[in-house]
Amino acid sequence: MSASDSPVSNDLFNRALKLIPGGVNSPVRAFRSVGGTPFFTQSAKGARLTTADGRELIDYVCTWGPAIHGHNHPAIREAVAEALERGTSFGTPNPYEVEMAELIVDMVPSVEKVRMVNSGTEATMSAIRLARGATGRDKIIKFAGCYHGHVDSLLVKAGSGALTLGNPDSAGIPASFAGETIVLPYNDLGALQLAFSEHPEKIAGVIIEPYPANCGLILPQTGYLEALRELCTRHGTVLIFDEVMTGFRIAPGGVQEKTGVTPDLTCLGKIIGGGLPVGAFGGRADLMDHLAPLGPVYQAGTLSGNPLAMAAGITALKLLREGDPYKRLESSAKQLAIALKLAAANLGVALQVPQAGSMFGLYFADKPVTNFDEALASRTELFKPLFQCALDLGVYLPPSAYEACFVSTAHTVNDIARTAEVLTSAIKQISES
């Protein structure tokens, strides 16, 4: 999309640049790594965004994951409208919170009790505090390339925007905060065993994206998550699955349902809000009972359990439980992955397209990517022309080589077929340049 055909977006961006740092409220939206001016969205429906300049785009960002039912789903809109009639926030417990908790406990294997928060960041921040409070230990293990929101002690070798912008360690974080964080390579069992043996009885928790999806999409090698589970159990360490991205997307119960590996705590977000701001963390009841008001670990939120957000999220989860769209979602993502791989193979472009359920990633690399270093070594400079070509042809991919693409139930057979054509053209363009 050239600057000349987006005058409204360009004008909005120029105004925003004067008022909002970088013109955006979350960094990757600024299109820094793909170039050009970001478009502004006027409205969204189903699989499509309509830009402020009236262009329609088939969307594979899906508001960074939450829109698994597509944008502005009628049932979610109705549920929010109905809740709105009763008020926007009460500051007391409300019936929706109980229904939401029942749904999460029913759907996510590890969760016996759950606390609602307002974002994924709050969920991970609270989960690691709980792991520390419950064990009386300080150290946390995280994995290079995994992003857990912008929690101080977890913004170390993080993925997502921190990676896209090339400053994996944020300024403003005292070394002592990050000093309790041990960063290990994903898929490296030896490194994990060594960390546990070097810090006996010091590791409060291990936090992991079980399928890391903030540095592309990486899948666990056979037995890796099972071995991690076993090590945590043996060392009295709390295993935290950050399923903010994968929860309800890979399966109703996330990666833990798919793999049968059950963590002690789980962080959730995105889909559970149905497009409104929500996060949650939950897990074993004995651990969760360390939280205030029952226990000494403090955690709170003025708007936590907000009735509008709960109404949206409850509807989103019920649609998943009752509609069981997972086979169809996976088949759409698979079709796109196959089209991409075929185009790349035919044109001699080295491309990996890891896919799990309705998510897929893109790496310009000649063999499957198994960890963060390999993701960094891929030819990310080729993503920029791919992104721009797809956008010109009406397909919106995440504006960073390191973000996963999402398919929703609103993507029709025709949308997928058209996207496969567009991506094939984009690969062709790359191969010719």
Site for ligand PMP, rule CB under 6 A: 64, 119-121, 124, 147-149, 160, 209, 214, 242, 244-245, 269, 279
Pairing of strands 48-51, 41-45: antiparallel
Give the closest residue to 214 by CA, choosing from 418, 414, 403, 22: 403
Q: Which residue of the chain is nearest ligand PMP when measured via CB? A: 120
Work out whether the CA dihedral 107, 111, 115, 116 comes out positive or negative: negative
Q: Is 237 helix (H, G, I), strand (E, B) or coil?
A: coil
242 in active site:
yes
Q: How far is the CB of 121 from ligand PMP (least distance, A)?
A: 3
Is 157 among the residues known to form the active site?
A: no
Q: Please report how close the Cβ of residue 116 comes to ligand PMP at its closest, in angstroms.
A: 13
Looking at beta carbons only, is 239 or 426 nearer to ligand PMP?
239
**Closest-CA residue to 250 (of 206, 296, 202, 217):** 217
E strands, 167-313, where? 181-184, 203-208, 238-242, 265-268, 279-283
> Of 34 and 276, which has the nearer Cβ to ligand PMP?
276
Structure tokens of 43?
């409205």
Which C-beta is closer to ligand PMP: that of 38 or that of 149?
149
Q: Smallest distance from the beta carbon of 408 to ligand PMP, in angstroms? A: 17
User: How many CB atoms lie under 10 A from the CB of residue 345?
Assistant: 12
Alpha helix segments (H runs only) across 211-266: 224-235, 254-259
Residue 402 annotated to the active site: no
Active-site option among 157, 270, 326, 402: 270
Beta carbons of 395 and 60 less than 8 angstroms apart: yes
Residue 355 Cβ vs ligand PMP, minimum distance, rounded to whole Å: 17
53: left (phi over 0), alpha (psi -120 to 50) or beta: alpha
Q: How far is the CB of 216 from ligand PMP (least distance, A)?
A: 12
Choice between 197 and 302, CB closer to ligand PMP? 302
Q: Measured between alpha carbons, how far is 100 from 310 in angstroms, rounded to an integer?
A: 7
**Residue spans of alpha helices (H) in 87-213:** 95-107, 120-135, 160-164, 175-178, 189-198
3-state secondary structure (DSSP) of residue 369: coil
Write down the catalytic residue from 96, 157, 211, 242: 242
Q: Closer to ligand PMP at the Cβ: 213 or 426?
A: 213
CB-based contact 5:54 (threshold 8 Å): no
Helix (H, G, I), strand (E, B) or coil at 116: strand
* Catalytic residue (one of 60, 96, 147, 402): 147
CB 122, min distance to ligand PMP, A: 7
- Any idea which residues carry the catalytic annotation? 147, 242, 270
